[in-house]
């Protein structure tokens, strides 16, 4: 076989002609079957084909599916990633490639059947977070590797008294992973999703090119990749906006019996903020003791007893969390400020509960819950989660049809319900949201050791209800199995999405687990 044969032929020889053990047992080193440039760069030494590596890369956080790759690449540099993609792109029989960060996907989106999964975390050994504090706009930013996790970004920026303004609720996610979706939380109404807080990206495209892009340079790629579900390139660096970091958080919890009051107050809290209102607003459901236990670190036993009495006469309690950031200078006035912001709201009298937290403690609050679940063996279980964006005009109908009926007896994990402002999103990016000025994120954090299929059926019932009721909801972290499903999801953006794929990944190498492009129609003759 010629020395410059493609990596694909090596995969075929390994996985079709003979098992891996017999190939390894041959006298001729298997690295000689790689393209010459891979051998010279010693990329072969960072490709693993053993069962331990491929099995690790065959599952994700959802634990709902298993897809075995042919190999796993442990890159030591961005150039390694580029070389791998170029090898596939130039091959007669290209192989698929998926970038794996923290693998917090749910249905195999970071997997590559019989392809190569890139273990992005191995770049952590060579990449560092670089902080820039310049005197000209953008005033503050951090250059962050796509493989970095947000908790490390937070730690590094806080050393300079700075912090990204927009977060996800869980910080142990990779930068490239959240920017490939959107990155949302209770700050989104004010600062926009994480994709709205990026100045510049380095991306390895589906052709293997390393491209720096921004709103001003290579803007088509920049807008495509942000929220692009990994379809157009692998994010290897992001320049993230930073703001001066607060020190502490005043944390208020408000309880409601009435859904209309609950949503009306949330919508009021996210409107006309001008930096003077709350910095974070999220709503959720309290249905029974299990939901109440999610907040055991906040509520006192006395508070819990009062809430239990409410649950005895109300099947469903609605709950708003709102926080105001402050520092040592503003500490003397923060209580007065929060009390002012709460005036006129319609929460149950006596159920505006407040306490203080450190800024880091608040942002990293979900990690405490993770550690408790890990100790109980309840973290590495099935997670048939579902996120959907529901237009403000139909959120009441959603409450009646879903929370009060379909989900009436379901208590398999927290449910969050909170609004966001459309004007904080950039329509030029690939992410899809409802066509209303205000829309709600509804998040079902389901978990099950065994009977997860039942929970998936619940998700299908909810989506079916939305279709039948004419609720134009959009899935976040979407997963469809048909082309029609994806076309309906992207709606007017579909044709642009296809054109972007044709431009930046014309052979359809990247992120095959999304199952958006099962064929490349433009390649047909």
Catalytic residues: 104, 169, 282
Distance CA 342, CA 340 (A): 5
Q: Is the distance from CB of 140 to CB of 156 less than 8 angstroms?
A: no
Distance CA 388, CA 238 (A): 27
Positions of E strands within 136-276: 140-145, 162-163, 198-205, 210-214, 233-241, 243-244, 248-256
Distance CA 75, CA 117 (A): 11
At 141 the three-state DSSP class reads: strand
Q: Is the distance from CB of 402 to CB of 316 less than 8 angstroms?
A: no
Positions of E strands within 14-114: 47-48, 71-73, 97-100
Question: Which helix (DSSP H) or strand (DSSP E) does residue 154 occupy?
Answer: helix 150-158
List beta partners, residue 439.
391, 420
Torsion angle of C-alpha atoms 277, 136, 180, 521, degrees rounded to 10: 130
Say how many C-beta atoms besides its own lie within 10 A of residue 246's C-beta.
Answer: 17
Q: What is the phi-psi region of residue 83: left when phi exceeds 0, alpha when psi lies from -120 to 50, beta otherwise? A: alpha
Q: What is the DSSP string of 244-282?
A: EPPSEEEEEEEEES-HHHHHHHHHHHTSS-TTSS-SEEE
Positions of E strands within 258-369: 280-286, 317-326, 352-358
The two tokens of residue 232 are 């157009």
């Amino acid at each position: 076989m010629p020395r410059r044969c493609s990596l694909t032929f090596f995969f075929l020889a390994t996985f079709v002609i003979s098992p891996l053990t017999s190939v390894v047992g041959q006298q001729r080193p298997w690295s000689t079957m790689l393209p010459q440039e891979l051998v010279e760069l010693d990329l072969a030494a960072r490709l693993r084909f053993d069962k331990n590596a491929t099995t690790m890369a065959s599952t994700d956080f959802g634990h709902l599916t298993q897809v075995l790759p042919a190999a796993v690449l442990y890159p030591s540099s961005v150039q390694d990633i580029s070389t791998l993609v170029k090898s596939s792109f130039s091959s007669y029989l290209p192989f698929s490639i998926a970038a794996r960060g923290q693998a917090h996907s749910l249905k195999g989106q970071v997997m590559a059947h019989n392809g190569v999964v890139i273990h992005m975390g191995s770049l952590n050994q060579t990449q560092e977070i670089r902080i820039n504090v310049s005197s000209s706009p953008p005033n503050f930013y951090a250059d962050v590797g796509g493989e970095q996790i947000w908790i490390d970004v937070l730690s590094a920026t806080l050393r300079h008294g700075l912090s990204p303004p927009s977060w996800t609720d869980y910080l142990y996610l990779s930068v490239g992973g959240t920017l490939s979706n959107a990155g949302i939380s209770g700050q989104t109404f004010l600062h926009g999703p994480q994709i709205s807080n990026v100045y510049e990206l380095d991306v390895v495209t589906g052709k293997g090119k390393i491209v720096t892009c921004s709103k001003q340079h290579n803007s088509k790629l920049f807008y495509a990749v942000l929220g692009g579900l990994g379809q157009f390139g692998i994010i290897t660096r992001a320049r993230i906006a930073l703001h001066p970091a607060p020190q502490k958080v005043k944390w208020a919890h408000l309880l409601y019996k009435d859904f209309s009051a609950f949503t009306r107050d949330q919508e009021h809290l996210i409107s006309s903020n001008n930096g003077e209102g709350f910095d974070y607003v999220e709503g959720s459901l309290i249905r029974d003791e299990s939901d109440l236990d999610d907040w055991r670190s906040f509520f006192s036993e006395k508070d819990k007893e009062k809430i239990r009495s409410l649950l005895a006469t109300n099947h469903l309690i609605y709950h708003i969390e709102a926080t105001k950031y402050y520092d040592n200078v503003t500490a003397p006035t923060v209580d007065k400020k929060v009390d002012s912001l709460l005036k006129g709201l319609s929460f149950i009298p006596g159920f505006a509960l407040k306490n203080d937290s450190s800024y880091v403690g608040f942002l990293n609050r979900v990690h405490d819950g993770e550690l408790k679940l890990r100790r109980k063996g309840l973290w590495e279980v099935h997670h048939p989660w579902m996120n959907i964006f529901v237009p403000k005009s139909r959120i009441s109908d959603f409450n009646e049809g879903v929370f009060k009926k379909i989900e009436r007896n379901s208590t398999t994990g927290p449910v969050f319900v909170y609004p966001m402002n459309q004007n904080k999103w950039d329509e030029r990016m690939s992410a899809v949201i409802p066509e209303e000025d205000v829309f709600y994120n509804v998040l079902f954090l389901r978990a099950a050791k065994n009977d997860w299929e039942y929970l998936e059926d619940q998700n299908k019932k909810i989506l079916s209800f939305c279709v039948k009721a004419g609720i134009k909801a959009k899935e976040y972290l979407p997963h469809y199995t048909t082309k029609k499903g994806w076309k309906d999801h992207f709606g007017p953006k579909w044709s642009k999405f296809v054109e972007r794929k044709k431009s930046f990944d014309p052979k359809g190498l990247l992120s095959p687990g999304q199952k958006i492009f099962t064929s490349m129609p433009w390649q047909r003759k």
